[in-house]
Amino acid sequence: WGTTCYSLKDCVVHSLGGEHTKVLCYKVGLLKLPSSWPSWLPSMVISLDASQNQISTLQQSDFQTLSQLRVLNVSQNEIHTIERHTFSSQGRLELLNLTANRLTVLSDSMFSGLVNLTTLLLSHNNITAIEKDAFAELQRLTVINLTSNKLQTLDSLHAVFELKTLVKMHIGDNGLHNFLTEDLRVTLMNLTELDFSKNPLSGINVTSNVLQNLQALDSSFIGMGHCVTWFLQDPCFLKGLKSLFLNRVCMKPPELSDLIQGLSCSSLENIQLANLNLTDSDNLVEKICSFQPNLRNIQLQGNNFTGLKKDVFENCTALRHLDLSMNHFKQVSKLTFRHLNMLQVLSLANNQLITVADDILHLPSLRRLDLSYNKIQDIFLNQSATSSSLTHLNLGSNKLIEIWSSSQFQALGNLLELQLGINRLLDIAAPFSPSLMKLIDLEISKNKLTSIRKHTFINLSALQTLNLAANQIESIELGAFDGLGHLETLLLCSNNIASPLLEKNIFNGLVSLKNLQFFSNVISYDSSKPIANPPFLHLKSLQILAINSQRHLGLRNLPANFFEGLVAIQKIHAGNLAVNNLDPGTFQYTPDLKELDISNNPLTSINQAVLEAVPNLTELHIQQLGLKTLDAVIKAKLSRLILLRATGNQLQTVKLSLPKALPSLLFLDIGQNPF
């Protein structure tokens, strides 16, 4: 074991059992794949990732003994040659990723042997030609991606269109100038998804039923400087079409209208018309709704709408999802949407809205409303006597300064998620409304809060996640978290919380808390002596604690009883703290700890007693500590350890006793050491 383990230098072998071994050799500077693989490896490996290297050639000997591979990723290399019969032993391979290489021609024998391949990814190469029988043996191929190559005619794609099993085809960004079905020279295809976006197409002619099974067609960004002409000889030639993407296509509103009207045999459910410079006066939306009354999803983002007529969606009564983001709306009214009784999701993000009126919240089926990235300065959501059906409201990235009244969200009795991040909140002057009794997730990150008042969240009895990250909090009043008996995740990272505040029992009452993110604050201790009030003493349910990367001078010293009370803790992240010594009893309070990360601390040695206190560890991260040996790990006999990362230390050797001391180890990373 000790010898063969290092024959894959800089690679990582990750095994979840004999039949699920993965070899990770990405971004390790390989010029070619190993000429021979360890004798213990071939029968187990189902996935090989050798992406992001400098491999130029693939040959049969590279994979001859890896006959069980299901997934092969050699993307982002410099592969220009794949020799004959390279994949002859890969009869079980299901996914082959050759993205971002230098292939120019796909030859007849290139993929021979891949009889079970279902997905072939060839985007971002320099492919100019595909020989007639290049895919002859790919009898199960369902997905092919040839995006961003140089296949400029349909004739050069003939071998692709002959694949009878193909379901999804991506041929965008190839330099195609025309798409004429008469040039395909094939009969009815099983293709359900076709993407020919980002081609300089001038003409699209559908004069046969070869694409009759097509359900999704992406023609976004076609034309590229000149406009596109569509010709559909028979509306029923695309009768299966459900989704049509026309984002940023070079077509005028009347031409778009004619195209959609011409699809009268189709029952479109999803249409995308983003970035087309559409305006209110084009009247295109009304026409689309008239031609395709079964639409469920309309995306109109990135246009020039400033206001919409009150009955614009009169014929779109089946609409579920409407995206009007990145336009120029300054105000909206319920009258615009009054016919959309089935609308569930509405996005008005990235507009110029200043206020939010009550009426828009009371569309009977509306569940999600995105008002982020506007100019909203205040909220008036308390005027209606009836409760909104809204469950998710995003008010992030606006100009809110203060939560000034408990009644501000009074109408939102069904709300589950409220996002108030990236505003200008200086204060939460009043407790959140009692109406928010169902709220589960509250985000107030990236504001300018400096303190949290007592009883701020007392009415949010169902809250499970509270995000207060990246504020300027330095004061939390005792009782600030009262009422949060069901809170499971609390994010207080990237604030200005110091050690004295931690010792004031601010977490009292958080009996269900499982995840506390406390990294990047200003906690610091002068010694490792026990402290009078351990900060987490009452967090009996906590499972995950992140205290890494304390700012200023770092934590420096970890009090011996810092983790006292954490009887249920599973993961502790304590890296990058400038801690240079750990008291032998540091983890005596956490006997069930499963994952420990103390990386990037100036710990040149670890007392074995530190690790003996956590016999149930399954993951240990000790990167970049300056360790010269792994003796403490060996002597602690962590019999359940599955993963060990010890990169970037000063290890001169690894003793053969390591695997005996760690009988459950499946993942070992000891790169970037002197040996």
Query: Domain residue spans in the chain?
Result: 46-175, 353-496
Contacts of residue 6, defined as CB under 8 A and 6 or more positions apart, other chains included, come to none
SS3 (DSSP) at 345: strand
Given this model, what pLDDT does residue 279 score?
A: 94
From CA 542, how far away is CA 227, in angstroms rounded? 60
Q: Which amino acid is at 3?
A: T
46-175 with 353-496: one CATH topology?
Answer: yes
From CA 138, how far away is CA 140, in angstroms rounded? 6
Given this model, what pLDDT does residue 41 score?
A: 62
Tokens of 418: 């409220």
| DSSP bridge partners of 393 | 369, 418
Reply yes or no on whether the pLDDT at 3 is more than 50. Answer: no
With residues binned 3-state (H G I as helix, E B as strand, rest as coil), the percentages for the chain, rounded to 5, are 10, 15, 70
What value, to the nearest 5°, has the Cα angle with vertex 365 and ends 363 and 371? Answer: 60
Cβ atoms 206, 232 nearer than 8 A: yes
SS3 (DSSP) at 621: strand
Contacts of residue 644, defined as CB under 8 A and 6 or more positions apart, other chains included, come to 619, 620, 622, 633, 662, 665, 667, 668, 669, 670
Contacts of residue 652, defined as CB under 8 A and 6 or more positions apart, other chains included, come to 628, 673, 674, 675
Given this model, what pLDDT does residue 5 score?
A: 33
Is 3.80.10.10 the CATH classification of the domain at 353-496?
yes
pLDDT, tens digit, 9 for 90 and up, residues 488-544? 999 999 999 999 998 888 999 999 999 999 999 999 998 999 999 999 999 999 999
Given this model, what pLDDT does residue 355 score?
A: 82
Cβ atoms 581, 610 nearer than 8 A: no
End-to-end CA distance of the chain: 17
Q: Which amino acid is at 245?
A: F
Q: Pairing mode, if any, of strands 45-49 and 71-73? A: parallel
Backbone angles phi, psi at 235, to 5 degrees: -55, -30
Q: In 368-517, where do the E strands start and end?
A: 368-370, 392-394, 402-403, 417-419, 427-428, 441-443, 451-452, 465-467, 475-476, 489-491, 515-517
Fill in the DSSP letter of residue 611.
H
Given this model, what pLDDT does residue 550 score?
A: 93
Given this model, what pLDDT does residue 666 score?
A: 87
Place of tokens 């400038």: 578
Q: Residue 669: which H helix or E strand, with range?
A: strand 667-669
Tokens of 644: 């060990």
Contacts of residue 190, defined as CB under 8 A and 6 or more positions apart, other chains included, come to 164, 165, 166, 167, 213
Q: Where are the alpha helices (DSSP H) in 319-399?
A: none
Task: Give 498-520 as a DSSP string.
Answer: -HHHHTT-TTTT-TT--EEE--S
Tokens of 347: 């996005």
> Mean pLDDT for the chain?
91
SS3 (DSSP) at 645: strand
Could you give the count of Cα atoms lying within 13 Å of 45 in the half-sphere of its Cβ? 24
Least confident of 35-49, 70-84, 229-243, 290-304: 35-49
CA distances from 223 to 109, 154, 226, 248, 466 (A): 35, 16, 5, 9, 47
Count of residues making up the chain? 675
Average pLDDT over residues 319-331: 96
Could you give the count of Cα atoms lying within 13 Å of 575 in the half-sphere of its Cβ? 14
What is the percent of the chain where pLDDT is above 70?
A: 96
Cβ atoms 378, 400 nearer than 8 A: yes
Q: In 196-284, where do the E strands start and end?
A: 203-206, 216-218, 229-232, 243-245, 270-272
From CA 457, how far away is CA 530, in angstroms rounded? 32
Cβ atoms 473, 452 nearer than 8 A: yes
Find how far residue 151's CA is from the centre of its chain.
31
Given this model, what pLDDT does residue 116 score?
A: 97
User: Pick from 46, 40, 96: which is nearest to 73 by CA?
Assistant: 96
> pLDDT grade, residue 6 (50/70/90)?
very low
Contacts of residue 583, defined as CB under 8 A and 6 or more positions apart, other chains included, come to 528, 558, 560, 610
Average pLDDT over residues 412-427: 96
From CA 113, how far away is CA 11, in angstroms rounded? 27
Given this model, what pLDDT does residue 331 score?
A: 86
CA distances from 579 to 126, 191, 548, 671 (A): 52, 59, 11, 23
User: Is this structure's pTM higher than 0.85?
Assistant: yes
CB atoms within 10 A of CB 675: 9
CATH architecture for the domain at 46-175: Alpha-Beta Horseshoe (3.80)
pLDDT, tens digit, 9 for 90 and up, residues 335-384? 889 899 999 999 999 999 998 766 777 789 999 999 999 999 887 665 55
Average pLDDT over residues 196-212: 92
Q: In 90-218, where do the E strands start and end?
A: 95-97, 105-106, 119-121, 129-130, 143-145, 168-170, 178-180, 193-195, 203-206, 216-218
Fill in the DSSP letter of residue 238.
G
Q: Identify how many contiguous H helices and E strands the chain contains and give both numbers.
A: 7, 39
Average pLDDT over residues 143-150: 98
From CA 596, how far away is CA 619, in angstroms rounded? 6
Backbone angles phi, psi at 475, to 5 degrees: -135, 130
Cβ atoms 118, 143 nearer than 8 A: yes
Place of tokens 């006066």: 281
Burial class (CB in 10 A: 0-12, 13-18, 19+), 39: exposed
Burial class (CB in 10 A: 0-12, 13-18, 19+), 566: buried
Tokens of 116: 């079970």
User: Pick from 216, 278, 223: which is nearest to 253 by CA?
Assistant: 278
Backbone angles phi, psi at 280, to 5 degrees: -60, -35
> pLDDT grade, residue 675 (50/70/90)?
confident
> pLDDT grade, residue 204 (50/70/90)?
very high
CB atoms within 10 A of CB 176: 22
| DSSP bridge partners of 345 | 321, 368
